[in-house]
Amino acid sequence: MPIVDVRPVVSASRELPGNAAQRLADAIAQVLQAETGRVWVRLTEMPRHDYAENRTILEDDDLPVFVTVLLADWPEQDVRARQAVTLASAVAASLGRLVERVHIEYAPPGRGRIAFGGQLMV
Protein backbone atom coordinates (compact mmCIF):
# COMPACT_ATOMS: atom_id res chain seq x y z
CA MET A 1 0.00 0.00 0.00
CA PRO A 2 2.87 2.43 0.18
CA ILE A 3 2.06 5.66 -1.60
CA VAL A 4 5.19 7.69 -2.25
CA ASP A 5 5.19 11.28 -3.46
CA VAL A 6 8.49 12.36 -4.99
CA ARG A 7 9.05 16.07 -5.72
CA PRO A 8 12.43 16.82 -7.26
CA VAL A 9 13.40 20.44 -7.84
CA VAL A 10 14.33 20.71 -11.52
CA SER A 11 15.94 23.27 -13.77
CA ALA A 12 16.10 23.55 -17.54
CA SER A 13 19.62 22.13 -17.47
CA ARG A 14 18.87 19.41 -14.88
CA GLU A 15 16.11 17.24 -16.36
CA LEU A 16 15.04 13.95 -14.86
CA PRO A 17 16.16 10.68 -16.42
CA GLY A 18 13.76 9.02 -18.84
CA ASN A 19 11.15 6.76 -17.26
CA ALA A 20 11.90 8.33 -13.85
CA ALA A 21 8.56 7.39 -12.25
CA GLN A 22 8.96 3.70 -13.12
CA ARG A 23 12.59 3.68 -12.00
CA LEU A 24 11.53 5.21 -8.68
CA ALA A 25 8.63 2.77 -8.21
CA ASP A 26 10.86 -0.24 -8.85
CA ALA A 27 13.68 1.00 -6.59
CA ILE A 28 11.33 1.98 -3.76
CA ALA A 29 9.47 -1.33 -3.98
CA GLN A 30 12.77 -3.15 -3.60
CA VAL A 31 13.67 -1.14 -0.49
CA LEU A 32 10.22 -1.68 1.03
CA GLN A 33 10.19 -5.35 -0.04
CA ALA A 34 6.77 -4.81 -1.61
CA GLU A 35 4.92 -7.16 -3.92
CA THR A 36 4.40 -6.29 -7.57
CA GLY A 37 1.90 -3.48 -8.08
CA ARG A 38 1.79 -2.52 -4.38
CA VAL A 39 3.95 0.65 -4.42
CA TRP A 40 2.41 3.72 -5.98
CA VAL A 41 4.68 6.60 -6.89
CA ARG A 42 3.44 10.08 -7.77
CA LEU A 43 6.22 12.09 -9.37
CA THR A 44 5.78 15.85 -9.51
CA GLU A 45 8.55 18.13 -10.73
CA MET A 46 9.01 21.41 -8.87
CA PRO A 47 10.46 24.17 -11.06
CA ARG A 48 13.60 25.70 -9.65
CA HIS A 49 12.00 29.16 -9.58
CA ASP A 50 9.41 27.78 -7.10
CA TYR A 51 12.05 26.70 -4.57
CA ALA A 52 14.51 28.62 -2.41
CA GLU A 53 16.73 28.22 0.62
CA ASN A 54 17.36 31.27 2.75
CA ARG A 55 20.52 33.22 1.92
CA THR A 56 21.67 30.49 -0.46
CA ILE A 57 22.12 30.24 -4.19
CA LEU A 58 21.98 26.63 -5.28
CA GLU A 59 23.92 25.06 -8.11
CA ASP A 60 22.09 22.51 -10.24
CA ASP A 61 23.95 19.66 -8.50
CA ASP A 62 22.54 20.82 -5.16
CA LEU A 63 18.87 20.77 -6.12
CA PRO A 64 16.91 18.74 -3.55
CA VAL A 65 14.34 15.98 -3.83
CA PHE A 66 11.46 15.84 -1.35
CA VAL A 67 9.89 12.46 -0.64
CA THR A 68 6.75 11.76 1.38
CA VAL A 69 6.08 8.14 2.31
CA LEU A 70 2.61 6.98 3.35
CA LEU A 71 2.51 3.51 4.88
CA ALA A 72 -0.42 1.66 6.46
CA ASP A 73 1.57 1.42 9.71
CA TRP A 74 4.89 2.85 10.73
CA PRO A 75 7.72 0.43 11.29
CA GLU A 76 9.58 0.76 14.59
CA GLN A 77 11.79 3.84 14.79
CA ASP A 78 15.07 1.96 14.31
CA VAL A 79 13.64 0.16 11.26
CA ARG A 80 12.31 3.47 9.92
CA ALA A 81 15.73 5.08 10.41
CA ARG A 82 17.46 2.32 8.41
CA GLN A 83 14.70 2.44 5.82
CA ALA A 84 15.15 6.19 5.38
CA VAL A 85 18.84 5.70 4.56
CA THR A 86 18.14 3.06 1.92
CA LEU A 87 15.18 5.00 0.49
CA ALA A 88 17.31 8.13 0.14
CA SER A 89 19.99 6.13 -1.66
CA ALA A 90 17.44 4.49 -3.98
CA VAL A 91 15.79 7.81 -4.87
CA ALA A 92 19.15 9.51 -5.40
CA ALA A 93 20.36 6.72 -7.68
CA SER A 94 17.08 6.67 -9.64
CA LEU A 95 17.19 10.40 -10.30
CA GLY A 96 20.94 10.99 -10.53
CA ARG A 97 20.96 13.22 -7.44
CA LEU A 98 23.12 13.50 -4.35
CA VAL A 99 21.84 11.34 -1.50
CA GLU A 100 22.51 14.22 0.90
CA ARG A 101 19.90 16.26 -0.99
CA VAL A 102 17.09 13.68 -0.70
CA HIS A 103 14.76 14.60 2.17
CA ILE A 104 12.20 12.09 3.41
CA GLU A 105 9.03 12.76 5.39
CA TYR A 106 6.95 9.94 6.81
CA ALA A 107 3.24 10.80 6.66
CA PRO A 108 1.02 9.72 9.54
CA PRO A 109 0.08 6.04 9.20
CA GLY A 110 -2.70 5.45 6.68
CA ARG A 111 -4.60 2.64 8.42
CA GLY A 112 -8.07 3.93 9.26
CA ARG A 113 -7.50 7.08 7.15
CA ILE A 114 -7.17 5.76 3.60
CA ALA A 115 -9.83 4.10 1.47
CA PHE A 116 -8.99 2.17 -1.70
CA GLY A 117 -11.87 1.85 -4.13
CA GLY A 118 -14.09 3.21 -1.38
CA GLN A 119 -13.02 0.53 1.09
CA LEU A 120 -11.47 1.90 4.27
CA MET A 121 -8.20 0.24 5.18
CA VAL A 122 -8.68 -1.10 8.71
In sequence order, the β-bridge partners of residue 67 are 6, 104
Return d(Cα 93, Cα 14) in angstroms, integer: 15
Q: Give buried/exposed letters for 85-104 (b at 16+ CB in 10 A, else e).
A: eebbebbbebbebeeebbeb
Which domains does the chain show, CATH number per domain?
3-120 (3.30.429.10)
How much is the pLDDT for 1? 81
How much is the pLDDT for 4? 98
Closest CA to 9 of 74, 98, 81: 98
List, for the chain, all residue ranges whose pLDDT scores fall below the cut of 50.
none
How much is the pLDDT for 77? 96
Return d(Cα 79, Cα 40) in angstroms, integer: 21
How much is the pLDDT for 11? 94
120 backbone φψ class: left, alpha, beta (φ>0; ψ -120 to 50):
beta
